[in-house]
Amino acid sequence: MALPARDAHLVQIVDAAVADAAHRSGPWLKCAPGCTQCCIGVFPISQLDAARLREGLAALGSADPQRASAIRARAQQSVARLAPDFPGDAVTGLIDEDRADFDDFANDEHCPVLDPTTGLCDLYAARPMTCRVFGPPLRTEDGLGVCELCFVGATMEEITAAEVHPEAEQDDLESALTAEAEQATGHAGNTIVAWALVS
């Protein structure tokens, strides 16, 4: 499946909002190359994120076949480990986030895109939206979320002052592109990184 053409615009919007928040965060933000706190434990990604990851892996396969092959191997090993207890359809990789066991599922599983030697993301430019926005304070329906390594000792005012402020069009654009990706793949719903890379 080809990545929707407007995905580059969505990525630009999100990255700009996060860069602005990171600037306002200053020394409170501890994210840096090699920090892997957010790379351990599975999390839902959209079919749009999955398509972006697959496109990134294909591009890496042309530029560095050995690294791409290592990612595929780690993804296949991850799927083999996780399939028996997968909270959803282990064939398609579609997860059921409403299942009681989802919150405790694979919390110690390393992302297959994480290079175990360098601690860097091998598909950083193609990373899912969750990865893109992790670090600076982000408001969701659950409140204002912050990485446990960042803003240690900060006041609520300091945290709020660094909050990510996405552009108004972001949600609508992301929803439209996700629907386009779901239609193209025939899979409606979220998956996880490992399944995205082996499908």
pLDDT in tens, 70-92: 999 999 999 999 999 999 999 99
Residue 58 to residue 79: CA distance in whole angstroms: 19
Residue 15 to residue 170: CA distance in whole angstroms: 11
Q: Using DSSP, state whether 19 is helix, strand or coil.
A: helix
Specify the pLDDT at position 88: 96
Beta-carbon count within 10 A of 101 CB = 10
Side chain identity at 68, as an amino acid letter? A
Specify the pLDDT at position 124: 96
Least confident of 43-52, 90-99, 126-135, 140-149: 140-149
pLDDT at 1 over 70: no
Specify the pLDDT at position 34: 84
Give pTM, 2 decimals. Answer: 0.93
Specify the pLDDT at position 145: 86
Give Cα 178 to chain centroid, integer Å: 14
Domain boundaries, the chain: 7-26+36-198
Contact 163, 157 (CB under 8 A): no
Distances (CA, A) of 103 to 43, 44, 106: 9, 11, 9
pLDDT at 167 over 90: no
Helices (H), 28-185: 47-63, 65-82, 129-133, 156-161, 169-185
The rounded radius of gyration (Å) of the Cα atoms in the chain is 17
pLDDT at 17 over 80: yes
Question: b or e along 41-59 (b: 16 or more beta carbons within 10 Å of the residue's beta carbon)?
Answer: ebbbbbbbbbbbbbbbbee
pLDDT at 118 over 90: yes
pLDDT at 152 over 70: yes
Average pLDDT over residues 54-83: 97
pLDDT at 142 over 80: yes
Specify the pLDDT at position 3: 87
Distances (CA, A) of 130 to 42, 67, 117, 186: 11, 23, 23, 22
